[in-house]
């Protein structure tokens, strides 16, 4: 039997009883004959607690030191899980980012993994040990501790699985898998059994917070099969895998939605370089812009609309207003109450009319579309936030076709 990498998130290790339960699960898999690497997050709430301490000392605490600070959360969980495993008679060893050289760049708080030295892990596995890896953390070239950003332990797990050429990477979480739409909104939402990396990337970037998007990118690049499943049951969850021919038949595999804020710059002179002039200063402020829409202009002017996270709206507005007056654009409007709703599916590439069906469904529910943006396997629209749930439910029912039980 081959090597499996498992990852347990913060809620799965939130207290000692849960850690003991994870240890029992791991020991059982080990006993069944698998080699096992377990990647763990900090106990739920710990990262926020530590950042809270830092922010009490400084409103904008030094980022390098914050990473050294919060990395202790995963270190604690890893050591405790190794202790619990040893107590069950399952030899285990915790390993930290610096001990297995999870080499990253130096972008503290959102570092990207560059390489992993599998040697230390494989030799511990060869000694018959379960290896418990502290997720979320790495080291840069100067041996500074770095962290990978929210959800980074997913990426740690997939990266370790890739480096070790594991059979698969199991992501244990507090949901049962990836759903066609949010089960809290659509009671008829269905768990997806298999989904392609590309579809998952679109869903992950669309607010389905089951997997960190970079972990999916990693999985796709290194072809690591990822199994997203519940840590509270043995039921199979969702496999995220390479595209399979049967997947093509499904037009729409999922509906996702996210609250955003919208900014429109009116009457932008329609000249080369002006998009860069608008979005450069926003990027410099580390504000992540999501959708950008620019329609063809008239009389040498165009309107430019984009969405940002709600928390960044005021800062983005301040920046854009300054830019607008500098480049001679017109008024800048904003709306903080919009939602982006997207449908994703490999089948869109070959099936005509999905967009038309989407727009017709929304029209039937009298939902006005403010913006539209499409990619090969995704269609996103922006609507008034008050219609978010209605739109998701209606689209799931009409397009994913599993609405029998929906309200």
User: Considering beta carbons, is residue 133 or 175 the nearer one to its own copies?
Assistant: 133
Kindly state whether residue 75 participates in binding its own copies, applying the rule CB under 8 A: yes
Q: Which residue has the tokens 């590309």?
A: 198
Kindly state whether residue 122 participates in binding its own copies, applying the rule CB under 8 A: no
* Least spacing, CB of residue 233 vs its own copies, in Å: 23
Interface residue with its own copies among 5, 39, 40, 93 (CB under 8 A) is: 93
Q: Which helix (H) or strand (E) holds 120?
A: helix 119-126
Kindly state whether residue 98 participates in binding its own copies, applying the rule CB under 8 A: yes
Stretch 319-358 residues interacting with its own copies (CB under 8 A): none
Q: Which helix (H) or strand (E) holds 284?
A: helix 274-284
* Least spacing, CB of residue 61 vs its own copies, in Å: 4
Q: List C-alpha distances in Å: 398 to 203, 254, 358.
A: 18, 12, 8
Alpha helix segments (H runs only) across 207-332? 213-222, 274-284, 313-327
Alpha helix segments (H runs only) across 239-329? 274-284, 313-327
257, β-bridge pairs? 341
Kindly state whether residue 79 participates in binding its own copies, applying the rule CB under 8 A: yes
Interface residue with its own copies among 4, 80, 130, 383 (CB under 8 A) is: 80
- Find, among 166, 173, 239, 229, the residue nearest to 200 by Cα: 239
Contact predicate 395/255, CB 8 Å:
yes
* Least spacing, CB of residue 71 vs its own copies, in Å: 8
Over the window 129 to 148, marking each residue x when it contacts its own copies by CB under 8 A and - when it does not, the resulting string is --------------xxx---
Interface residue with its own copies among 3, 26, 36, 66 (CB under 8 A) is: 66
* Measured distance CA(388)–CA(182) in Å, rounded: 11
User: Considering beta carbons, is residue 68 or 334 the nearer one to its own copies?
Assistant: 68
Kindly state whether residue 110 participates in binding its own copies, applying the rule CB under 8 A: no
User: Considering beta carbons, is residue 50 or 335 the nearer one to its own copies?
Assistant: 50
* Measured distance CA(300)–CA(368) in Å, rounded: 28
Contact predicate 259/310, CB 8 Å:
yes
Neighbours of 192 (CB within 10 A): 23
298, β-bridge pairs? 301
- Among the listed ranges 77-85, 247-255, 278-286, 382-390, the one in contact with its own copies (CB under 8 A) is 77-85
* Least spacing, CB of residue 95 vs its own copies, in Å: 9
Stretch 10-49 residues interacting with its own copies (CB under 8 A): 16, 19-20
* Measured distance CA(3)–CA(60) in Å, rounded: 42
Interface residue with its own copies among 36, 40, 96, 391 (CB under 8 A) is: 96
Phi-psi region of 101 (alpha: psi -120 to 50; beta: other; left: phi over 0): left
DSSP structural state of residue 397: I
- Among the listed ranges 33-41, 65-73, 221-229, 359-367, the one in contact with its own copies (CB under 8 A) is 65-73
User: Considering beta carbons, is residue 92 or 394 the nearer one to its own copies?
Assistant: 92
Q: Which helix (H) or strand (E) holds 333?
A: strand 332-344
Interface residue with its own copies among 31, 32, 45, 62 (CB under 8 A) is: 62
Chain contacts with its own copies (rule: CB under 8 A): 16, 19-20, 50, 53-54, 56-58, 61-62, 64-66, 68-69, 71-72, 75-76, 78-80, 82-84, 86-87, 92-94, 96, 98-99, 120, 143-145
């Amino acid at each position: 039997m081959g090597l499996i990498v498992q990852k347990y998130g913060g809620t799965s290790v939130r207290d000692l009883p849960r850690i003991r339960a994870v240890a029992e699960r791991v020991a059982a898999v080990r006993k069944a004959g698998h080699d096992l690497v377990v990647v763990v997050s900090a106990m739920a709430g710990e990262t926020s607690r530590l950042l809270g301490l830092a922010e009490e000392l400084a409103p904008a605490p030094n980022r390098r030191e914050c990473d050294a600070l919060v990395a202790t959360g995963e270190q604690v969980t890893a050591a405790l899980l190794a202790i619990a495993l040893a107590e069950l008679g399952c030899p285990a060893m915790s390993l930290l980012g610096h001990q297995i050289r999870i080499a990253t760049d130096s972008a503290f708080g959102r570092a990207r993994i560059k390489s992993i030295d599998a040697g230390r892990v494989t030799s511990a596995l060869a000694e018959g040990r379960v290896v418990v890896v502290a997720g979320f953390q790495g080291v840069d070239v100067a041996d500074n501790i770095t962290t990978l950003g929210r959800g980074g332990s997913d990426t740690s797990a997939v990266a370790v699985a890739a480096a070790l050429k594991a059979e698969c990477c199991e992501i244990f979480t507090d949901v049962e898998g990836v759903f066609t739409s949010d089960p809290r909104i659509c009671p008829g939402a269905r768990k997806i059994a298999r989904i392609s990396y590309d579809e998952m990337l679109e869903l992950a970037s669309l607010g389905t917070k089951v997997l960190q998007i970079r972990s999916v990118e990693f999985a796709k690049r290194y072809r690591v099969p990822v199994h997203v499943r519940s840590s509270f049951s043995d039921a199979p969850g969702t496999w995220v895998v390479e595209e399979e021919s049967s997947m093509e038949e499904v037009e729409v595999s999922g509906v996702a939605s996210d609250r955003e804020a919208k900014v429109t710059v009116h009457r932008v002179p329609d000249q080369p370089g002006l998009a860069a002039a608008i979005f450069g200063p926003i990027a410099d402020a580390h504000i992540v812009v999501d959708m950008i829409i620019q329609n063809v202009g008239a009389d040498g002017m165009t309107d430019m609309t984009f969405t940002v996270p709600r928390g960044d709206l005021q800062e983005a507005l301040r920046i854009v207003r300054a830019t607008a007056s500098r480049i001679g654009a017109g008024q800048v409007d904003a709306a903080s109450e919009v939602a982006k709703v997207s449908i994703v599916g490999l089948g869109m590439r070959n099936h005509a009319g999905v967009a038309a069906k989407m727009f017709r469904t929304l029209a039937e529910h009298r939902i006005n579309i403010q913006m539209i943006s499409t990619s090969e396997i995704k269609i996103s629209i922006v609507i008034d936030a008050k219609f978010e749930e209605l739109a998701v439910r209606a689209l799931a029912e009409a397009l994913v076709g599993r609405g029998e039980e929906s309200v």
